[in-house]
Amino acid sequence: MSGHIAPVRQPLITGHKTYHQITEDICRPTETAPSLSWVVAFIVAVTLLGLFVFSVAWTIWVGIGSWNLNRTINWGWDITNFVWWVGIGHAGTLISAILLLFRQKWRTGVNRAAEAMTIFAVMCAGQFPLIHMGRLWMAFFIFPYPNTRGPLWVNFNSPLLWDVFAISTYFTVSLLFWYAGLVPDLATVRDRAVGLRRKIYSIFSFGWNGSAKHWQRWESLSLILAGLATPLVLSVHTIVSFDFATAVIPGWHTTIFPPYFVAGAIFSGFAMVLTLMLIARKVLHLEDYITIEHIESMNKVILLTGSIVGVAYLTELFIAWYSGYIYEQFAFLNRVLGPYYWSYIGMMLCNVVSPQIFWSKRLRTSLFWTFFMSIFINIGMWFERFVIIATTLARDYLPSSWSYYVPSWVEICIFIGTLGLFSTLFLIFTRVAPVVAIAEIKHILKTAGDQYIGPNALAHAHAGHAHGQTVPAEINDLQAGGTVDIDGENDKPLD
């Protein structure tokens, strides 16, 4: 095999897998009855989804007055949750696109699930801008369509409109990228299925047959989509940060926001990927495909982005002081010591201080600490958005209008409900589609699988290369002139 072998890396696929074993392992969850733990998790998720539907219906029926937003704090949990979910939705594309461009092979173990997570997270994120409009049935007003009011167009200079374009483009491109990767794997599931399942997977696998030309175009498509998705993923959170950075509110009007938001998004996205994958690898028995090496790699990204975020927090404070502008200084002093000081402390502890434990190899290769940290970071990143949005608004220009905000039960239920929406979609995904990219894993098996790494690598490669293997029994039959079929099913005409 001509692929090059990197002995420095730990193997990315363990358990001495063959190609067929990979197919078996990864397709199994889609072919067997769900486990009890899945059923319980699904019931919980659907219950929370019901809570989401109820609380959104309540918001629409009663009106936005059912939320505790007020004249001063007009963005609260709604936009906090929106930014939080969008941030989570960044890891999938980062893993599948940027790491593809960098030829990081460990990407293949987690990209499928991470991308699915991205799509579901963006779906959750999208709920908030829609419902916070109050009149959901008017939501189409955000799109520039020819209308009878002039036509009066939307404001193309507004970052809120840029957001509409960014999020919808991101969702569309992520979905296309994810599905293009999924087609060959759905074909694998199709070819193993019988009866109705085979018919269903035939529709969804788009007639894929693995032809050499198709694979060539597929690789070309993946590479170019990765090239397009890379600036896209960076642009999306940049534009989300513009929602704040282009406003003239002290504490929001800063140029550091775009890189700081993007780093934070990757940070929280990887944390959510880890939360999900640590559970999925255990429940779906994927320990051979999502190894400690994968987890360690992701923890390194978390350490890097967490530190970038930490530097950004400190830079903000420094620049606020250095600007000599009292309103800016007050805004930041208020963040740290004001009425919401507890959320600032939570943010600092969860996002900056605690990820530093990953300097230790023992801790970043520990499943317990990784899982613990992944939850911690998700909480911390939620606090970050809350700090930016609510604490900044709480103390505006006139002390007479200063205010404090606690969410109503409706807002809390909507947030918990989106966790239900997210989990429901993810749980369904683990049952119907291969959670690990089968074709991509097979592609790296010989260069990153454990049996091909280490001192025996060359011997193995050589053995695979040798001619004159023992001739299987079927071939001896062939020499007598007959056709041979293993299962006898495949020679039917007009199949």
Interface residue with other proteins among 188, 268, 343, 374 (CB under 8 A) is 188
Q: Interface with other proteins includes 1 (CB under 8 A)?
A: yes
Of the candidate residues 36, 155, 362, 368, the single one contacting other proteins (CB under 8 A): 155
x-or-dash string of contact with other proteins, 191-220, rule CB under 8 A:
xx---------xxxxxxxxxxxxxxxxxxx
Cα distance between residue 316 and residue 344, in whole Å: 13
Q: Tell me how crowded residue 2 is: count the other CB atoms within 10 A of its CB.
A: 7
Burial degree of 54 (CB within 10 A; 0-12, 13-18, 19+) = middle
**Closer Cβ to other proteins, 300 or 443, answer by number:** 443
Q: Which residue's CB is nearer to other proteins, number 234 or number 352? A: 234
Nearer to other proteins by Cβ, of 160 and 311: the residue is 160
The minimum distance between CB 440 and other proteins, in angstroms, equals: 7
Tokens of 227: 């090239």
Residues 6+ apart with CB under 8 A from 31: 189, 192, 193
For other proteins, the closer CB: 109 or 420: 109
- Shortest distance, position 224 Cβ to other proteins, whole Å: 5
Which of positions 110-149 make contact with other proteins (CB under 8 A)?
Answer: 144
**In the complex with other proteins, which residue's Cβ is closer, 6 or 203?**
203
- We find the least distance from the C-beta atom of residue 163 to other proteins, in angstroms, to be 9
User: Cβ of residue 26: shortest distance to other proteins, in angstroms?
Assistant: 11
162 or 429, CB closer to other proteins? 162
Q: Is the peptide bond before 407 cis (omega within 30 degrees of 0)?
A: no
Between 138 and 486, CB nearer to other proteins: 486
- Please say whether the beta carbons of 75 and 393 come within 8 A: yes
Nearer to other proteins, 167 or 410 (CB): 167
Q: Kindly identify the residues of this chain, within the stretch 364-383, that bind other proteins according to CB under 8 A.
A: none
Cα separation values, 10 from 366, 389, 436, 447, 491, Å: 15, 43, 19, 11, 43
* DSSP bridge pairs for 13: 449
Which H or E element spans position 428? helix 409-432
DSSP 51: H
**Segment contacting other proteins by CB under 8 A, of 32-40, 56-64, 179-187, 328-336:** 179-187
Query: Given CA atoms 75, 240, 379, 375 in this order, what sign does their dihedral have?
Result: positive
Q: Which of 61, 150, 324, 399 binds other proteins (CB under 8 A)?
A: 150
> Residue 197 Cβ, how far from other proteins at the closest point, in Å?
13
Choices 303-311, 345-353, 368-376, 482-490 (CB under 8 A): range interacting with other proteins: 482-490
Residues 410-449 that bind other proteins (CB under 8 A): 438-440, 442-443
Sign of CA dihedral 212, 218, 222, 227: positive
What binding mask, one character per residue, do residues 17-56 give for other proteins by CB under 8 A, x or -? -xxx--x---------------------------------
Phi, psi of 272 (to 5 degrees): -70, -40
Smallest separation (angstroms) from other proteins to the CB of 359: 37
Cα dihedral 279, 281, 283, 285 in deg (nearest 10) = -170
Q: How far apart are CA 320 and CA 254, in angstroms?
A: 10
Among 53, 180, 336, 345, binds other proteins (CB under 8 A): 180
Nearer to other proteins, 71 or 467 (CB): 467
Please report, as a single letter, which amino acid is at residue 167.
Answer: I
Listed in sequence order, the residues at least 6 apart from 156 whose beta carbon sits closer than 8 Å to its beta carbon are: 144
Binding of other proteins at residue 105 (CB under 8 A)? Answer: no
Residue count at the site for other proteins (CB under 8 A)?
Answer: 91
Nearer to other proteins, 15 or 34 (CB): 15
Stretch of 44-52, 116-124, 235-243, 360-368 contacting other proteins, by CB under 8 A = 235-243
Near other proteins by CB under 8 A: residue from 90, 105, 132, 190:
190
CB neighbours of residue 360 within 10 Å: 11
Segment contacting other proteins by CB under 8 A, of 229-237, 255-263, 355-363, 369-377: 229-237
CA atoms within 13 A on the CB side of 426: 30
Q: Please report, as residue ranges, which positions from 236 to 255 form the binding site for other proteins (by CB under 8 A).
A: 239, 242
Distance CA 233, CA 35 (A): 35
What residues from 322 to 361 belong to the interface with other proteins (CB under 8 A)? none
CA dihedral 393, 398, 404, 409 (to 10 degrees): -70
Calculate ∠ Cα 385-391-392, nearest 5°.
90
Please say which residue, 16 or 361, places its beta carbon nearer to other proteins: 16
Residue with tokens 């939080």: 84
Of the residues 72, 235, 329, 403, which one makes contact with other proteins according to CB under 8 A:
235
Spatial contact of 396 and 18, defined as CB atoms under 8 Å apart: no
Q: Which stretch binds other proteins (CB under 8 A): 230-238, 285-293, 311-319, 335-343?
A: 230-238
Closer to other proteins by CB, 2 or 148: give it: 2
User: What is the 8-class DSSP label of residue 13?
Assistant: B
